[in-house]
Structure 1
Amino acid sequence: MIEQQRILATAIPGPASTELHQRKLATVASGVGTGLPVYVEAAEGGIVRDVDGNQLIDFGSGIAVTSVGNRNQRVIDAVTAQINDFTHTCFMVTPYEEYVAVCEELADVTPGDHEKRSALFNSGAEAVENAVKIARSATGRPAVVTFEHAYHGRTNLTMALTAKNMPYKQGFGPFAGEIYRAPMAYPYRWPGGPQACADEALSTVIDTVHAQVGEGNTAAVILEPIQGEGGFIVPPPGFVAGLADWCREHGIVFIADEIQSGFCRTGDWFASDHEGVVPDLITTAKGIAGGMPLAAVTGRADLMDAVHAGGLGGTYGGNPVACAAGLASIETMREDDLAGRAREIEALVVPRLRALAERTGVIGDIRGRGAMLAIELVSDLEAKTPDAALAAAVNAGCHSRGLITLTCGTYGNVFRFLPPLTIGDELLTEGLDILEEAFDAAL
């Protein structure tokens, strides 16, 4: 058991981490970056312990993965039992119940009460890529519409869907074709202002697709109901629902990418639930399995079943150990009401962020839902000039004080907060105290 307490035994990073980092530089490809080079020895709940004995407060959850906490006992027990049975057979060769059970749970917890099917994969990028395959197969159409500030993965197709060039796309083209980008409903930066954003953005998207793609050529529209890497952009009320309705009207598959926002992170099981939106297809990963590699595409039975037998799958997709972890994670979310806990985290964190914004005058926007929250830093509140340098300085200050934080955003000026949903209030409060210290030191 790791005591849920921050401990600074050395400087961050310490000597043992520094030595390991030299080994990393000598043997690991330089393209695999490291945001905070402390090398982890153990983790539990809201604490990560490094090889120097430092215990850091975790506001990142491995990018929204360890939502049920590191070393969750249900996950440990389920994984241990499964490993003792078998570790792999390949579901496409000799299937097993665990895969089926995960698909049953996905049918239950994802939005809508219609008949559903699922297919399991290893990563969010795989899930997105297969969702596009399914949409194209079901509709017989080629085009896919994505959005400004979107992030959907690092494969060739998902890089094409992703908006941000550095570090995700630079030098890796050419990318997959028949991908079209539409304006994102970004209330803070919408030219007509937040109040006009929903209607104007939806109208602009519809006009863009009509003029540049053609509704009859469009297989799918893919949208993160709350954008992740793009800056935790929350579309205004009505935009996502209106987009889904328009897609339905024109026979276009509406894909909700809930890889970062899913599984109780936003205070609902899925961000789509907030407005009662039922996607045709939904992609999931990250928080689904307590840190084990598991992803899924879940959707309408008629769409999912449109693909010929053998058209979906993969050697490791739906690995039995990962499936066992997924079942235990979903059980934890349900039994411990982690969606409710996410709302409690929001209630504690947002007032502190508002007070920080008022005191510092450098926070242009506070946004998000549940335990998926962000602040956008600007050097000029009126001009909304992105301040990536300040974000980097505050981030470094948090790291040196023992708080794991993450930045994001197309302009590199957004702080995102993704604590484990099991984190205690004391650690949350201490983490916010550290954040304030880091701001004071950077300003």
Structure 2
Amino acid sequence: MNTSAPNPKHSRTALPGPKARDMLARDAEVISPSYPRDYPFVMSHGRGTEVWDVDGNRFLDFAAGIAVCATGHAHPQVVAAVKAAADRFLHISSDYWHEEMTGLGERLARLNPMTTLAGEPAMSFLCQSGTEAVEGALKLARYVTRRPRYLGFLGGFHGRTMGSLSFTSSKYTQQLGFAPTMPGVTHVPFPNPYRPLFAGADQGKAVLDYIRMLFERSVPAAEVAAILVEPIQGEGGYLVPPDGFLAGLRTLCDQHGILLIFDEVQSGVGRTGKLFASEHWGVAPDIMTLAKGLGSGLPIGAVVAKKSLMSQWKRGAHGNTYGGNPLACAAANATLDLVAGGYADNAASVGEYFMARLRELARDYPCIGEVRGKGLMIGMELVEGDGENTPARALCDDVVTRAFHNGLLLLSCGSSTVRFMPPLNVGTAEVDEAMELLRASLDQALAGH
């Protein structure tokens, strides 16, 4: 693995440093190579938006553990809540009851969009991850409708277990070698105004018309249990749907008795400047999945559904051992306190500032085709200079790698989108520092292409 000269503002050693190289060698012998690691960052510790590697090099973390560290690294309020819970007990299993679990359920019942937007009482099933939450949502939809089919969206990411994998289509590598996955899933395009599949049309309306055509010709609507969609598509490119699209899906589902599932695993818990992304359009699902930022780093997921649906599950219909773990629930309760206490508002205001800075940057770099997003869920799509908005895949990868060597942790998504998902408490000064590092990384990458 190549090393680079240190950035004097951030690095004490070339990257990766000697301790990091030793860790990489040890890890290669014992850990699965399936993890999609983009660059050799070996973490030592973090505080807020700053992280340090094992060689003492400092970085700004604008990936936040893939949007997981919602309150930043090691937030003292979250850490205190976890420590207090650990002092009491570490585990009791979901066969029993405890305050952190019930209290989290009460909060989710108050805060979810089914209740706040549609006035429907809700219940939650707690688990450990996003893919488990999606599996639970799919099972619930099939259980209550007794229907065998589903619709998903091209570019969507919903997890890697076999049920959720059948919907995941952001990269073919995620499905390669695992066919057949769960049958009965039909994929349709996700509306993308920047890369329209339907020429000269409202992309949201065109996709809704496409679904109606499927219902007439190949997918009987009466057999569809649910439509699973991300309100803002994550791994597919941080795509924000056109206004009216989610409302159109809601109407379509209501017409045919189909359940609408919103996957808010990445977009939920304040990430977009509202508690849930669907609130930007005032649309309530029937079932919602949560994970990632819910626990500020501890593994927790949730299926939140209308009580009229989840109450139909019989004893033993669905369960797991670690659901409602006291430490994870304590972290989630503390996280929701912080998000409600100002972090969602900060995501909205700092996100607006950040997107304005990125659009200023785009005026200097024609390779920046579009800046899009809401709150602190922001994508910067890079394109070739051919006038056709051709995805600049190699350039995108190079920018992300060079940013690491300059002291900024980023990830990509979609065909050629650099995504920004810093902790929700990031400040404008840290955004300004990140912009300086991003500009340097773009200059270096463009010089090499």
TM class by smaller structure: over 0.9
**One-letter amino acid of the counterpart of residue 174, structure 1:** P
**One-letter amino acid of the counterpart of residue 243, structure 2:** P
Note if 1:250 corresponds to 2:251: no
> 2:99 aligned to 97, 100, 105, which one?
97
Number of the residue aligned with 1:264: 270
Partner Cα distance (1:41, 1:295) in 2:
26
> 2:320 aligned to 314, 330, 337, which one?
314
Partner Cα distance (1:6, 1:264) in 2:
31
Tell me how far 1:381 sits from its aligned partner.
5.8
Partner Cα distance (1:104, 1:212) in 2:
42
In structure 2, relative to structure 1, the CA distance for the partners of 1:85 and 1:165 (3 Å cut) is same
In structure 2, relative to structure 1, the CA distance for the partners of 1:6 and 1:425 (3 Å cut) is farther
Q: Give me the TM-score of the superposition, normalised by structure 1.
A: 0.95
Partner Cα distance (1:299, 1:381) in 2:
47
Number of the residue aligned with 2:304: 298
Number of the residue aligned with 1:109: 111
Tell me how far 1:348 sits from its aligned partner.
1.6
Tell me how far 1:192 sits from its aligned partner.
4.1
Note if 1:17 corresponds to 2:17: no
Number of the residue aligned with 2:392: 387
Tell me how far 1:85 sits from its aligned partner.
0.5
Number of the residue aligned with 2:45: 42
* Deviations, residues 353-375 of structure 1 (Å, cap 9, x unaligned): 11222211112221110000001
**One-letter amino acid of the counterpart of residue 134, structure 2:** V
Number of the residue aligned with 2:423: 420
Number of the residue aligned with 1:404: 409
Tell me how far 1:111 sits from its aligned partner.
0.6
Note if 1:274 corresponds to 2:280: yes
Note if 1:186 corresponds to 2:192: yes
In structure 2, relative to structure 1, the CA distance for the partners of 1:345 and 1:209 (3 Å cut) is farther
Contact 1:59/1:403 (<8 A) preserved: yes
Number of the residue aligned with 1:437: 440
Partner Cα distance (1:129, 1:28) in 2:
26
* Deviations, residues 290-348 of structure 1 (Å, cap 9, x unaligned): 1000000101111111221111210111211100111011011112x111111122222
1:187-266 alignment, distance < 5 Å = 187-192=193-198, 196-266=202-272
**One-letter amino acid of the counterpart of residue 201, structure 1:** V
**One-letter amino acid of the counterpart of residue 35, structure 1:** D
- For 1:386, what is the secondary structure of its paired residue? coil
Partner Cα distance (1:252, 1:6) in 2:
55
Give the number of aligned pairs.
Answer: 435
In structure 2, relative to structure 1, the CA distance for the partners of 1:307 and 1:404 (3 Å cut) is same
**One-letter amino acid of the counterpart of residue 370, structure 2:** D
In structure 2, relative to structure 1, the CA distance for the partners of 1:193 and 1:349 (3 Å cut) is farther
In structure 2, relative to structure 1, the CA distance for the partners of 1:195 and 1:72 (3 Å cut) is farther
- Which range moved further: 309-318 or 194-203? 194-203
Note if 1:378 corresponds to 2:383: yes
* Unaligned ranges ≥5, structure 1: none
Note if 1:173 corresponds to 2:173: no
- For 1:385, what is the secondary structure of its paired residue? coil
**One-letter amino acid of the counterpart of residue 329, structure 1:** T
Note if 1:361 corresponds to 2:366: yes
1:20-169 alignment, distance < 5 Å = 20-92=23-95, 94-113=96-115, 114-169=120-175
* Deviations, residues 212-262 of structure 1 (Å, cap 9, x unaligned): 211100000000000111111111000011101210121100000000000
Tell me how far 1:36 sits from its aligned partner.
2.5
- For 1:297, what is the secondary structure of its paired residue? strand
- For 1:167, what is the secondary structure of its paired residue? helix
Contact 1:121/1:314 (<8 A) preserved: yes
Partner Cα distance (1:243, 1:43) in 2:
41
Tell me how far 1:423 sits from its aligned partner.
1.6
Partner Cα distance (1:50, 1:6) in 2:
15
**One-letter amino acid of the counterpart of residue 136, structure 2:** N
Q: Give me the TM-score of the superposition, normalised by structure 2.
A: 0.94
Contact 2:10/2:406 (<8 A) preserved: no
**One-letter amino acid of the counterpart of residue 391, structure 1:** C
- Which range moved further: 398-407 or 376-385? 376-385
RMSD over equivalenced CA pairs, Å: 1.5
* Unaligned ranges ≥5, structure 2: 1-7
**One-letter amino acid of the counterpart of residue 409, structure 2:** I
Contact 1:185/1:202 (<8 A) preserved: no
**One-letter amino acid of the counterpart of residue 99, structure 2:** E
Tell me how far 1:32 sits from its aligned partner.
2.3
Partner Cα distance (1:162, 1:191) in 2:
20
Contact 1:187/1:193 (<8 A) preserved: no
Partner Cα distance (1:321, 1:23) in 2:
30
- For 2:298, what is the secondary structure of its paired residue? coil
**One-letter amino acid of the counterpart of residue 351, structure 1:** A
Contact 2:350/2:427 (<8 A) preserved: no
Contact 2:64/2:421 (<8 A) preserved: yes
Contact 1:122/1:295 (<8 A) preserved: yes
Note if 1:351 corresponds to 2:356: yes
Tell me how far 1:198 sits from its aligned partner.
2.1
Partner Cα distance (1:194, 1:125) in 2:
36
Note if 1:331 corresponds to 2:330: no
- For 1:119, what is the secondary structure of its paired residue? strand
